[in-house]
Amino acid sequence: MASIEDRLVDVRRRIAGAARLCGRDPADINLLVVSKTRPIDDIRAALAAGQCHFGENYLQEAVPKIDALADEPICWHFIGPIQANKTRAIANNFDWVHSVDRLKIAERLNAQRDPARPPLNICLQLNISGEASKSGLAPADLVAMAAAVAKLDRLRFRGLMCIPRENTDASAQFARLRRLLDELKQSMGARAESLDTLSMGMSGDLEAAIVEGATWLRIGTAVFGPRQSSIELNHLPGNG
């Protein structure tokens, strides 16, 4: 089996190739390696291969990893569903949160972020596919939510995130997220200055996400191989 280093090289090649094909600068596309369910040694292997942004979905799994790797230059991103009683630990263990989908959660992250640290980078997660079971804000609620979030000064509102519906045309959903961000920037005027992020694209659809303007790809399987665990995408009752 290919090593983590080989797989990372391969993913970076895919990113550069896809960027070239659609005339984008690969430097504008950031790679977030999703390390959920992976042991610390796998994270160290990716780190040794030059990867410094890692994403985790489950707080109780992430905190021991973050503590064990505290001396490493890692930027941690939270990408899973958020329970209100976990916001303090999320606000202070992570540099980014991609999965904010309720004002209450944004307000708690804002209130609980350590004042000595820079503002927490956040994205609003949109439920583009309209699946009732999916996390995410309804597109119709985005403008009001964005206006409220922009007032929270311990958060830096960076953009939008989505997880497309499986077995459907991801491109159309990525395009929709991009349009939502464009419209939001228009409607927010000067307050849109921090909005530079489209967090979309995973192992199976990163090329499509790049075509539609992704700035953060969230990649697990293509770097680490298939997950052993039965933990599914963004859906585990009682996690966070």
Ligand X SMILES: *Cc1c(COP(=O)(O)O)cnc(C)c1O
Binding site residues, ligand X, CB under 6 A? 34, 36, 57, 79, 163, 202-204, 218-222, 233-234
Q: Considering the complex, state which of residue 71 and residue 232 has its C-beta at the smaller distance from ligand X.
A: 232
Nearer to ligand X, 82 or 145 (CB): 82
Least Å from the CB of residue 188 to ligand X:
25
Q: Which tokens belong to 56? A: 């985790």
Measured from each CB, the residue nearest to ligand X is 220
3-state secondary structure (DSSP) of residue 206: helix
Choose among 153, 62, 147, 89: nearest CA to 115: 153
CB of residue 203 vs ligand X: minimum separation in angstroms?
3
- DSSP element (H, E) containing 8: helix 4-21
State which H helix or E strand residue 75 sits in. Answer: strand 75-78
Nearer to ligand X, 11 or 192 (CB): 11
- In the complex, the smallest distance separating the C-beta of residue 191 from ligand X, rounded to whole angstroms, is 27
The dihedral sign for the CA sequence 61, 67, 69, 73: positive
CB of 51 to ligand X, least distance (A): 14
Residue closer to ligand X by CB (options 53, 218) is 218
| 204 C-beta neighbours (distance < 10 Å), count | 13
